[in-house]
Structure 1
Amino acid sequence: MHQARKRFGQNFLTDTGIITQLVRSIAPARNDLMVEIGPGQGALTRPLMDELDHLHAVELDRDLIALLQRTLTARRLTLHQADALRFDFTTLVPDAQQRLRVVGNLPYNISTPLMFHLIRQIDVIQDMHFMLQKEMVERLVATPGSSDWGRLSVMIQYHCQADFLFLVPPEAFRPAPKVDSAIVRLTPHATLPHPVADYAVFAALVGQVFTQRRKAIRNGLKSFLSPAEIETAGIDPGLRPEQLSLADFAALGNAAAARINDTKP
């Protein structure tokens, strides 16, 4: 039996009821182009393969790759021995008309950078279903004004609709983690609700302002906008970051981008 490795953040899902509920939530169709990140010992991989003509899986642990190769039908599963944080998911999409469905029980220690890695490839993604630490899912689906609303909420919701599906208790795993987990569905927007003129400026502004989340944005945005410029964008410079909506952040990002362009020689 494979022993879970702490350095890979491995906690293997074993509860068949939770697995069935997750597969129903994903609702795979036969011809879906799907990739599972971190298949582990195949607990979710097997029922997904039952529903799909073919499945891709990205796994870093060589021992688990060997286990999966021994126990699963190779012709219906393509295993990629790779670090998901560096994997080019666009290579799995041979047809410009297709979109990739992404599924994964993500290790807690890489979940945020992995989601940002996937966001950079969002043009080829249809949807994403992830099992994550419950606190992280609460941040992904947070609304302005709540303590969970932060950089992760803004950046993910800029690109995706985020839906909290259901809770997963620690006893559903082996070994049992010390935290509750939850399932989230991320669905890329067909049309961005609040597109920005310069995404790099927007991302930098959001990241900067939440480093001082307890202070008024006039302080957190000093390097981007003056209080007067914040007001001109239609936003009270005395507000704190968690009080701003996605639309507010987009307006501030556009104002900052315009200021940068105006000062260029």
Structure 2
Amino acid sequence: MNQPRQTASYLSKRLTEAGLRPVSKYGQNFLIDLNLVDLIANSAELRKTDVVLEIGTGVGSLTSRLSDAAGAVLSVEIDKNLHQLASEELAGRPNVKLLQGDALRNKNSLRADLIELITEAMQRIGSEARFLLVANLPYNVATPIISNLLHQSPAPDVMVVTIQKELAERIVAEPGTKDYGALSIWIQSLCRAEIVRILGPKVFWPRPKVDSAVIRLDLEPQRRDAIADLDYFHQTVRALFFHRRKFLRSNVISAMKNRLSKPQVDEVLQSLGHGETVRAEELSVQQIQQLVEALRIAEANAG
């Protein structure tokens, strides 16, 4: 089936005909270069045994490509009008399920039925099923979507998403750089992360004010299994970087307030060889992991 070329004018006309226009509060920036839509789909290396979650159906351009390659696609669109338009565009695709609504229940959790629907689809496919997130993510929900999905069981085996370039750089950042922080450590503790392609504003309509990036995250189960308590780890890492210019000792004392005394904190830091002037941003992902686990054990023993 030949699709019309998805230019800005084509999309504008298509939405206008449906009485629609982009809604800025939903972060709607449509990818108009179909070669890049193909790049996103192809970068996921989909199989017929894959269950794909897409956040932001839009007009269904990426959804149709996911449907062609995957076993099942669950796509979520917050905009009621776009959801209706996409439903018409994607009619006749039995492996696509479209949901209307917000993918997030709140900033710290996904809507209740998402993982349930993913799990059901995976059970129908069988033991070879994988779970993937493939999406052109709205900027305003990219961080909570990625971060919350890593808490889930199952977590996505692979994520290929378009996000703000600045966020992508934070995810792949190395110790000692300005972009390195809690998000870098949280994601790198669980995944291999790579930037696939940088995208300029002109490949979107409407054009965003910033560059974007396609990023691929591959879950490493052994890394995830090495973390004794995911929630404790995530919360503690965030606390360690709450005041990133402070010395590590001050941040640890603040993070462990009413849980560990200053002497107990000092004992943990000394046991790991961290001096008075070290900062959290100077420590490697592995060193942060060792620190958080040592704090968790010290807290458990103190209790």
How many angstroms apart in 1 are the aligned matches of 2:226 and 2:288?
10
* Paired position in structure 2 for 1:216: 247
Q: 1:89 aligns with which of 111, 115, 130?
A: 115
Match of 2:283 in 1: 244
Displacement of 1:21 in angstroms is 2.0
Letter aligned with residue 36 of structure 1: E
Tell me the equivalent position of 1:111.
Answer: 142
Question: Shift in Å at residue 27 of structure 1?
Answer: 2.2
Q: Which amino acid aligns with 2:289?
A: A
Letter matched to residue 229 of structure 1: V
Partner of 1:39: 57
SS in structure 2 of the partner of residue 30 of structure 1: coil
State the superposition RMSD in angstroms. 1.9
Query: How far apart are 1:124 and its partner, in Å?
Result: 4.2
With over 3 angstroms needed to count, the CA separation of the structure-2 counterparts of 1:202 and 1:76, relative to structure 1, is closer
Q: Tell me which residue corresponds to 1:79.
A: 98
* 1:262 maps onto 2:262 in alignment: no
Residue identity matched to 2:39: Q
8 Å contact kept, 1:149–1:242: yes
Deviation at 1:118? 0.8
* Amino acid across the alignment from 1:44: L
Secondary structure, aligned partner of 2:189: helix
Within 5 Å, give how 1:22-37 maps onto structure 2: 22-37=40-55
Task: Quote the residue 2:292 is aligned against.
Answer: 253
Q: Deviations over 1:102-129 (max 9, x none)?
A: 1111111111111122111153422111
Cα distance in 1 between the residues matched to 2:233 and 2:131? 26
Say whether the 8 Å CA contact 1:90–1:121 is kept in structure 2. no
Match of 1:19 in 2: 37
CA contact (8 A) 1:29 1:52 kept: yes
1:198 to 229, 232, 253: 229
Q: Which moved more, 1:149-158 or 1:31-40?
A: 31-40
Deviates more, 1:171-180 or 1:206-215: 206-215
Moved more, 19-28 or 111-120: 19-28
Cα 1:56–1:170 shift into 2, 3 Å: same
Structure 1 contact 26–129 (Cα < 8 Å) conserved? yes
SS at match of 2:103: coil
* Structure 1 residue ranges, 4+ long, deviating more than 3 angstroms after superposition: 196-201
1:71–1:23 CA distance, 2 compared to 1 (3 A)? same
The offset of 1:146, in angstroms, is 1.2
Please give the secondary structure, in 2, of the residue aligned with 1:226.
Answer: helix
Partner Cα separation in structure 2 for residue 70 and residue 113 of structure 1:
29
- Asked whether the equivalents of residues 231 and 237 of structure 1 are also in contact (C-alpha less than 8 Å), the reply is no
Mapping of 1:102-251 within 5 angstroms? 102-192=133-223, 195-223=226-254, 224=256, 226-251=265-290
Q: For residue 91 of structure 1, what is the amino acid of its counterpart? A: L
Shift in Å, 1:229: 2.1
For normalisation by structure 1, the TM-score amounts to: 0.92
Matched letter for residue 118 of structure 2: L
| Counterparts of 2:119 and 2:224, CA distance in 1 | 26
| C-alpha deviation, 1:46, in angstroms | 2.2
| Distance of 2:25 and 2:170 partners within structure 1 | 25
The residue type equivalent to 1:42 in the other structure is: G
Q: Distance in 1 between matches of 2:276 and 2:290?
A: 13
Paired residue total: 264
Deviation at 1:53, TM superposition (A): 4.5
How far residue 73 of structure 1 moved from its aligned partner, in angstroms, is 2.6
- Return the offset for 1:209: 1.6
C-alpha displacement of 1:79: 0.5
Q: Percent identity?
A: 32
Structure 2: gaps of 5 or more residues:
1-14, 105-109, 257-263
